[in-house]
Structure 1
Amino acid sequence: MFFLKFFTFFSIISIAISGPPKLMSFNGDLHELIENMTYPLTCVLISGSKPIFFDWYRNGEKVMERLNLKIDNQDRISQLSLSNVQTSDSGKYECHAKNQYGQDSIATNILVKGLNPVVLNTWSSFQTQVQGSRLFLNCLPILGDSPFSFNWMKNGREIPENDHVQIRKDNLLSILLIENLISDDSGNYTCSVHNQGGFDSQSSYLSVQVPPSWIKEPKDVNLRMGEEYSVECLADGLPKPKINWITPSGKTIENEILDLSKLIKNEKNGRQTLTFECVADNGIGEALRKSITISYNVPARFDEKYSSLQAKKGDIIVMKCNATGDRPITIRWTKDGIKLDRLSHHYEMTDFSTSQGVISELSIRPVQKSDGAIYKCDAENEHGRDDRTIKLSVVEEPSSPVNVKINEVWSRSASVSWRHPQNGNSPVIRYLIHYWRRQSAPHRLHEVNVSSSQTSYLIKNLNPGLSYELSVIAENEVGRSQPSETVPFFTGEEEPSAPPNDINVEPKGPTTIRITWRAPPKEFWNGLIKGYYVGFRKADDTNTAYTLKSIDSKYTEANQIESEVYEYFLRDLSRGTEYEIVIKAYNMAGSGPQSHVLLARTLDGDLPPAQHLIATETTTNSISLRWHQRDNRNSITSIISYTLQYQKEGEPKWHEIPFSSLATSAPSIEQSSMPIYTHTLVNLESGTNYRIFVTAVNRFGFSDPSNIVNTKTIGERLNFQGKLMNHYYESPYYMQPEFTIPILTAFVIVVIIMVIAYVCVRRAKHRAAASSLILESASKQFTGYNTAPRYADFDKVSGKPLIMTEQGNIFPTAYATMPLDENMQPWTGEMKKDSHIYDHPQ
């Protein structure tokens, strides 16, 4: 590195009062720099009028300040400073000065040179050498300016020279030489080189491979079966040797430690000795091999020492004990320490010989609750003995939860609690809460799963004002318990959450409005509907509160029918006035939302009265009708028209016939005050039933329908006209059947009552006379030879008519053919009874 020295001096020069600027030339046309140097360029003004403006340009482009370039403009000097120069800063630099009279410029060139960094030859990243060979590594710069500085390192540490390691260096090369490699020479080797231009390094990992050698050589063993033992086979080498065991059956096991306790079961096959071979090989040189002999005796033993079984009561359970060892093996079963009898009918024990030993089975059929116990099977041979324990738990469904009760009830939730039941020797895994509405049929069952750790639960999403029932069921792995005792509860009521449905209003006169509605949908009752509020006010008086009328509900606890139609008449209203009407339902909790406002206007006058309709004649295809109003109100004069409606049986449609003028019968006194109208329906079907009614219309609206007449046209086989009643319908009203028949019926009833009264009086007199005759006859002695005939028997045999005595008593005629007369002597025989002379009705 060298430094460029320069000197700047200033001369006092007289500046013309006015004139263009004049600059002092740079010191030389070329300035050579080295990278990372700092270098200033100074532009000095010789003459010129102030103010002077300086600008710098590089390769024709104006220079702006940046990180490594600064411009300092003063009164007569401008300095451009370059710091940490790079080759990219090379170029032609110009300084421009100008004022109002002109301008001047000077230029020079800057060349920035760089050093060539060192570059080493490429190494292989991994090298493999065999133990005892020689390592030769050379570190050769293929690019870069000398001089070079070399450094050798192994695993990050500098390598010292000794008899085993040699390092050779000159100006352009360095060599690392290691004779007779050993395993410790393995590692990461690095050569690093520096010059004035930079730094470079190369690394390579050396692996020195070593053939296997024994660390722990396996040896022969003599042991007893059932012991926990293993054989180690350990070897060293680089790379690490792979250890394989070859079993007597030819199977290869890759492991340093041979667990014989797991192999002898499969490898013994009746032999008392086994040979295993250990092979250690890493691919370097000869593999190491060593065979060992295992000699053993096998005592009786169980691989599985303890187990737990569950059996459901009433099932069949089989418990197994698998004993291994040299045969013969004796098996004994005990229950809670007491030996089981092989001749028992409840227990059945069976032994099976296997290649490994004996399997003994204990069967219990059927399982009883008392069979839950600790069972042991003992196995013994000449080399030893062992036992196995089996815990048998008899499980069943849990019992029903107890003490189920409702703690608190709200309108939409209820808190229920219970106590843990007996679990049937199997933990309860969950509880099931079943609840349903008592009023619904069929019951819709709701089920809630509750954790087995809980004994209480808050049931949500209930409906207000309803009666519910619930039960709790416990469940374990066996099954479900019986439901607990059913617990009823009632949710609290809330106000109805919907207004009434199907509201209809219609004026029924100048002071009356008829209102009909149905209950809200049942799911919005939130309790039992107690009644309804009907509110009304004049439509033009919105500042006045509604006048409310309370109407009791038809519903009871056992009769809740939401389709029932309610009817209410608002009376004593103003004539020809429009009213606003609202309805809302209420229950014990309060009233629900009111309906939308309905408008109804009372009439300016009365509606026509209902008509009285009569079918006067029928034919095969026609029905003649006659009608008149039921009373003689003056409003009849205001009737504008009539509408006749009829319906054929089996058809839903009604047919309408409007009339604006109708024919009446011939004038009469009665008809002049109450006119009668007639009409004949034609083109009907023969032998068919029809329903007919008529309504009257005036300028205020329709009357109520008349009575509905049910009549039938004549069939084809009865082709005649029924004119029987024509005479009556053409006569005055007091001669018509609907007027005369009730009067005649009343007259007949009066006559019947009078006759009954007369008969009752007569019978009372006859009973008194008969009593006196019986008393008089009882005091006389007479002889009788035959039993007096009963009235009923006499009537069947003789068929004689009854006669009446002077006293008025009625007696049947005698058996004799001779007529009775006044000269007959009275009967003097003794009477059997004074209460039954002939047993005839008294």
Structure 2
Amino acid sequence: MDFAYIIFVALLVLPICAGQEDDVTPFEVMIRPPLEEDYLDLGESKTYTCGASATSDQVTLKWFINDQEITATSGRVRVEALGNSRYMLRIGSGEDNDGGVYRCEGTLAGQTDSKTINVVVIKPLEIHSDQEQFDILGGEGEVECEVSGKPAPTVTWKFENNTKIEAGEKYTIALNKLIIKDLSLEDTKKYLCDIIVIDTGETKDFYIDFTVVKLPTIALPPTIHPDNPKVGDEVKITCQATGVPPPTYQFKKGDVMVTDEMVNNGVLTINPLKTTDQATYTCIATNKGGFAESSNTLDVKVPPTIEDMEETYDAVSGQELTITCTAKGDPEPSVIWKKDGPQSASTDGIVNKGPTYEKVGSNQNDMEEKTVAQHMTFKPVTYQDAGTYICTAFSLVGSANKTVKLTVQYKPNFDTDFKEREFFGWRGHKANLTCQANANPVATIEWYMPDAENPDDYSKAVRIPNEAPYTINMLQKWDGSFLSSRSLHVDIGDETSHYKDFLCEATNVQGMTWQVVTLKEAKPPGSPVISMGNVLTSSITVNIEPPAENNGQPVTEYTYLYYPDGDAAQTNNGQTARTGDKTKLELTGLTSNTPYVVKVKAKNNVGEGEEATVTIPTLKVSKPFRLTIKSPQMSENADSYLLEWEQPDDGGSPIKHFSISYRQVKVKGTDEPGTWKIDGDIDLDPKLKVVPNPSALSTRLDDLDANAFYEIRLWATNEEGDSELTQVLIKTSAGAEGEEEKGEEKVAQGSGKEEGDNEKIEAGQGPNANGSTSAVSEDGAGIGPVGDHSGRLAVNLAALLAPLAMACLLAL
């Protein structure tokens, strides 16, 4: 139940409860919300409820708009009975004509009462004028501010600083307009259209950018640079105009507009200049007030050009040939012929008939091109005349060249880059015999079998049919070449009779030529040449060279086996691909001080050949094995690099120390380390660091430059000598120096401290007398095997002194 209605009834009942004894209660109606005036926005929906002071079936309620009853119970504007003497008015999606005085009238037992509410429809402010406006210098200007709304707005004209503009000699204020008389450039400014709706208090500031325009003028015709333009030049046609605001430029070629891409700030650029660009060009300078035009004529000079000719002329020895070169230009060009390359005696056959001229056009204003031709005649053509000839046309404004190629038909020959005359096959193989001929016209090729009784009499040769065991490919030709080739495939199977001579016949209109091609039997290769390479305690490197005779097929790989001498039960075998003229085979995991038998066979497409054998003993002790670096090539630090390597193989002799050589270098490549290559030196003399701890697995290189490349070489040393060098390129980071903590260096059997570069190795820091290696923990206590008590004491003493030495260094 409506709360307002309850209050209304309570107010009627209270006097009775208070003991008042009025017999008649006055009848009233009320509108909720209780407003005398309400605003309705366009599109907004609202309801107004009319209620009576008494609840009775006899109460009659009605709604009126401007004294006309509203009876509709459906639609956008309708009434709806709510019961309990209430009657609702609904206005949906408010429209402009919904405004007016709405009245609710009620009747009960002869009593009548009514209430009204004035509904005002609000239409938002709408501005219909542009913010940017202009008018012409010296005339009368109009600044427009057309605005609509409901209730109707008022307009006040002001300057940008909010000073009101008063009507007078300079300004006239009309409906939605400010008229400015005798416009000058000083009238270009912002004007404020101050809009106010008095009934609602709504206000809006509308600033108008008003420009006084000075029409464009062009004082001089467009200029053309260079003064005598020729085809191929870059030409600029420049137009200069004045106006406010500054004008923009366009150009017309004749009556056709030039594309804007060719025009920049009044300059038309034509690049490259063509003969079709010759025309009258009109400059159009435009601003918002209007435009101006001015014209000039572009006269194009034409360097010589040569008309298209056949690129290739075919001739046969003995025939007469004339080739004509026709050129045109302005001014008239001269034309000459010349053979490219060394001259031969046959060029005396060129008869110069002298130039033949043919002028075209009326030659008015010297704007027409002139045409001239010259003939080159061969009497007769010889084979040596074949070659390239150059026609040159030249004048004061340039020159032009064209080349033609003269080819001469000739009998086929086999003088080509393809020199193969012997081919190889083997059992079960399909041999490929190829014949390549050189001829003009291109030769056709056929395959023949020599006559068994008269092999040298090619006229008795038998043409080979395209059937088993023979397959003959289609003739192959190459564009732009006089070469042709054709292949004969022979399916050998188990036959040996196919290994013999075959005949290749090349034919064209100029004649025929024969070529003998031999098919030979290919066999497995001979034995390879093997020799001893680098030998260590547990590895052997074997150098393998291909056999002197491959028997018709190249060696593709090698098979091998090896075992301790006298113990073939421990045979290992494998295969490796051939790598050039010398293949390295590395055998690892061997027993020291033991002779090994190594057997190697070469293999080609036919099969394996004879084996070669060599016996190579491993060493009892050797130099250390080549170290493997495992630290990344990109350093985390800008001024240092932690170099780490894997546990080394000492070759049976304890490592004495590690050595590192490093220098800054120039590097080319991408950001990927795999692409880095040294491209020059920065440090000519590398720095050397010696790590005396034989158990070390890392060391830090300090005092490096940020964002720099370094070449690092690492090797280990024992009593037998130095290991092979391990080389790596690294790069320091670009970060700030000193940001990273320098970690302790790793050792083979725990954590230890490196004593320093190039220092003498003290007792207990290297191998002990019995060959075992001492190690220390972080607190200095021995944790690994030791040789004697003096070694352990030295290790402990070094561990105790290390913190003291570090404190002294920090104090310095």
TM-score (norm 1): 0.31
Q: Which has the larger radius of gyration?
A: 1
TM-score (norm 2): 0.32
